[in-house]
Amino acid sequence: MFYGCSPLFLAKNTLRFPASIPPAQRGHRPHGTAGQIPALGRKCTMDLHAAYPALADLRARARHRIPKFVWEYLDSGTGFEATKARNRTALDRVGFAPSVLHGEITPELTTTLFGHDMPLPFGIAPIGMSGLIWPGAEGHLARAGARHGIPYAISTVATQSPEDIAPDLGQHAWFQMYPPRDPDIRTDMLNRARTAGFTTLILTVDVPSASRRERQVRSGLTNPPSITPRILAQIATCPAWAIETAKRGMPHMRGLDKYANAATQGLSTTAHVGYLLRTAPDWDYVKWLRDAWDGPFIIKGIMRPQDATQLESLGADAIWVSNHAGRQFDAALSSIEVLPSIRAATTLPILFDSGVETGLDILRAIALGADYVMLGRAFHFALGALGARGVDHLIDILAKDMIANMGQMGAKDLRSLPPAIELP
């Protein structure tokens, strides 16, 4: 029972409201490491680092706070999830030799990217339908990025439009584009992103078609979500998620509303209206976008050195090494094992993702050639666990873990990291 109502009654009735909350009412009250955590209908004060010292703890809590179909969407890969597993295994094989007798040091985490001084070497990667994972996710993430001075990247298929999120953006606002087929839609999308305040464009090139994502299919999730008895039963076990979703209405891809039409019928359960609008880009498409966008231009989803070399010749400003966290192709190499060869093939800045869970993982990627590291799933685990304050807490976890491990290596800054070694 939840305040006198069964969770099932709550889910059935509150999910009918297509509510929207004005931006002024979506603000986030700042939290430190101690805060108010709901527990059995009452509030208590606790140290978040004592309760949730690692991402694994946030992940475990999130799994119980969001419905199963949402969890499967967030956590799953594709196929047997071998690529997802390889990402973790390969990161664990990247080691360092400890270094001692350096005296007291205070490791510095600052770096530079696109000519900007960055306080931390990691940012918030785009995930489609963020607001399905936790209501209001895009706003929470954008505001956290602004507070901490790190990049926040919104997806083309977010549950908030560029216009919705504009008041929440900080200096490092990035717009991730799935490539529209129609040049008029393409141009309009770029103009909307610019007007909203996005300064950097990301073209994702590793999703030429919908992947299978069998776990997601088995969970009953469809696009757009359908409220079936099975889905209602899952929602009923997660009252906090249900209440917040009811306040905002069932999430959908608001940024694509003006382009959508009735042609969504016949899509697979892992596809969506975005697939009707997008194309599989080629080199000419990259050239067109380079000419159309006057800010930093990142190409995401690069796994081969020769592609990085050619993209540099076409005027890309950065390469994003990624296998889409194992969500697209189950025969891919891990992202970390291709990183050194791509580093050797280009002088461009390299961003990195896929499988990153700790501050040590961030150091591993930087040691092997990444200039900046992005995390997507991790920040959504944090949201699922603790809502908005989970994002701040995860940023603190990652920074503290980087500092602790840099101390073990005697590294006073990111440029002082020792060479990585391959562990058995």
Of the candidates 140, 324, 380, 393, the residue annotated as catalytic is: 324
Distance CA 423, CA 361 (A): 14
Taking Cα atoms as reference points, which of 118, 156, 345, 358 lies closest to residue 254? 156
In angstroms, the Cα distances linking 46 to 249, 386, 397, 401 are 32, 13, 16, 21
DSSP codes joined into one string, 145-199: HHHHT--EEE-TT-SS-HHHHGGG--SSEEEEE--BSSHHHHHHHHHHHHHHT--
Distance CA 180, CA 163 (A): 19
Distance CA 400, CA 379 (A): 16
Told to judge if 116 belongs to the known catalytic residues of this protein, a careful annotator would answer no
Distance CA 294, CA 194 (A): 10
What are the start-end ranges of the E strands in 224-345? 297-302, 318-321
The dihedrals phi and psi of 203, each to the nearest 5 degrees, come to -100, 115
Q: Tokens for 213, please give them.
A: 């994502």
Query: Which secondary structure element, helix H or strand E, spans residue 47, and what is its range?
Result: strand 42-47
Q: Which residues are catalytic?
A: 324
